[in-house]
Structure 1
């Protein structure tokens, strides 16, 4: 069985729309090949719209949901045309997260899949998270099914995006959970220096660690909770940013980078992991990687750029194929839902 699919991913750090066209083949096990992939940077207008979506009225949010769906459809249409792609079986779209409150049984990723279908005339799978949340799960992380079936050669897979999340196997069961905020906080601080992100961690490197703040960050209740667990921007607004008063931005960058490295290495050491695949934009933050390496004996594997940048979009494409074939694409052991299931709305 051979399938070709396009995966779309827009992360909470708003660094752009990841588009990945990949081939998947099932023999004894699943194999994949990324054929074409690119990141479409958001215009200032779109970045502002998505960043402020959390503050919109219900009416405005419904309008943005449709508008962003057509935006995604046009982006895919241009991607297919530019790269002269054929044999596209489906598009799988993560959408852009506005709200994520699984404890209240809701999560919202905007970008109406029906609009994408109208633009592209291809089958579209979207809204991968809501069903899991309704079933008592966190609706996150979802990529562990891809880690299990496409990247099983590693002890664990760590994604450093807006948030850091990890997926690993314990006693033949794959577990996964969010560890800590990463770029959702670091990028916001870097913007005070008119930078989109702290390149290589160069700004953080110049700051001094505020020990009192570090202690307060490491003492937050979330870090004591058992898995499965997940984070959202609302949690950062309530628990992180309010602690940042009266401390210089450069020291906040240094302190928060230290905090991230502490929380991530703590998980590596707790589970005695030996080799871990690192992906996501935070993998390029050399200062953060050095800090993690200094706190653990685990071997950190940094793959080729294509996997660093597009692993999540790749896995959503894969999840779309599983959904279209009515196969399990969400693991209850990772999300905490009542059972494994096949999730995603088909347009």
Structure 2
């Protein structure tokens, strides 16, 4: 079985691994001048990514879901001396826990019931010479974290069912939307692995804090999706203003999805504000509101308890003020599901 067939086997088995074709990488031209970025902080992040791409140090990319962590990882790879070698993406939280070790490190023939005769090459071996991108690295089981630590320290892997070490030459870029320090405190993430991964941390701000990027991204996605479907859609000024005012809890990924949905639903037209999904084209909400905490006292309670009380009151105040969960969540700049979860948790705590 050749290398391409091995890639396809992994992709077909799970649909969670992405082997990025090198020709596609070159065609996309991951050059700083071609990146859709105008926000000053994001431009600084790209400059940092350009610098770190020239050396083989490990990179940890932090940020909310949908901010573009994988795009930065690809940018680093495409500007490195490994750009002509594989770039392999794996979502660590998408593979069943009982399979992730064999997928990452491979296995020997007879390693377990149902193992392929002749064994199987793992993703770290497939990435030899290139870059492996471990998305949602905070989801890795502790026993797999130990093996990943060895890869970073010794550049060696050991297949499941084998006692022999295999040398690998690759770069590890990891990403997470979780607070790894909190996971360390809860004994869910190894502290030594954290420091190995975070040699060069890059934190990507959410889209709501990068307002200068919204219009360029709208124009980029508009052209890309029009080309894909053969439409000549555009947005009215009022629609663009509405898109710019939205808090984008799903970040860049949500923006693209909304634009695609609007184009598909409206076709070759100028898309008006009324044509936007209801989650965006809702009632006007205040972008910020003042909440008084004068009635609170920190006497006799810890900072954590005080923070919980404040959060409870702010959420309840927003729900009462706007009359429904969706608009309250929009005002607070969080996803409705997050608001519901926090509200239920706070109500339960408040009743105890």
TM-score > 0.5 by shorter chain: no
Q: Which structure has greater strand proportion?
A: 1
Rg (Cα) greater in structure = 2
TM-score between both structures, scaled by the size of structure 2? 0.20
Q: Which structure has greater helix proportion?
A: 2
TM-score between both structures, scaled by the size of structure 1? 0.20
* Structure ranking higher on relative contact order (CA contacts 8 Å, 6+ apart): 1
